[in-house]
Amino acid sequence: DAGVIQSPRHEVTEMGQEVTLRCKPISGHDYLFWYRQTMMRGLELLIYFNNNVPIDDSGMPEDRFSAKMPNASFSTLKIQPSEPRDSAVYFCASSWRLVTDTQYFGPGTRLTVL
């Protein structure tokens, strides 16, 4: 398996624009997670899915953020409208089980909002 795949790897956009980040989890994994990493706050869980269903979105900062998982092999994280404070590295991770298994992380998308 190629591991967790994320695209794009880098995104530079202007304030107010819509941004869509994409993730393909490892085949067979039932759980998918979206994280955000910043210098100030470290790694934070935004939302996670189980079998394509959102289970916990309490980490999503604002209504400007939304995430979908239309099928087992694809998820998106959308920010609309984007703001400079959204600049961060966004990671997608997947795992087979929630608690006992490790999570496998993608390479991340570095988002810069000007």
Partner 1 sequence: KQEVTQIPAALSVPEGENLVLNCSFTDSAIYNLQWFRQDPGKGLTSLLLIQSSQREQTSGRLNASLDKSSGRSTLYIAASQPGDSATYLCAVRGTGANNLFFGTGTRLTVIP
* 9-24 residues labelled b (16+ CB within 10 A) or e (exposed): eebebeeeeebebbbb
Does 12 contact partner 1 by CB under 8 A?
no
User: Which one, 3 or 16, has the nearer CB to partner 1?
Assistant: 3
Tell me how far the alpha carbon of residue 45 is from its chain's centroid: 9
Q: Among 21-29, 53-61, 65-73, 77-85, which window interacts with partner 1 (CB under 8 A)? A: 53-61
Does 47 contact partner 1 by CB under 8 A?
no
Q: What are phi and psi of 6, to 5 degrees?
A: -125, 145
User: Which one, 71 or 102, has the nearer CB to partner 1?
Assistant: 102
Residue 72 Cβ, how far from partner 1 at the closest point, in Å?
19
Is 86 in a helix, a strand, or coil?
Answer: helix
Q: How far apart are CA 56 and CA 28, in angstroms?
A: 20
Q: Among 13-21, 40-48, 61-69, 73-81, which window interacts with partner 1 (CB under 8 A)? A: 40-48
How would you classify the pairing of strands 19-24 and 10-13? unpaired
User: Which one, 15 or 98, has the nearer CB to partner 1?
Assistant: 98
Q: Among 14-22, 60-68, 76-84, 95-103, which window interacts with partner 1 (CB under 8 A)? A: 95-103
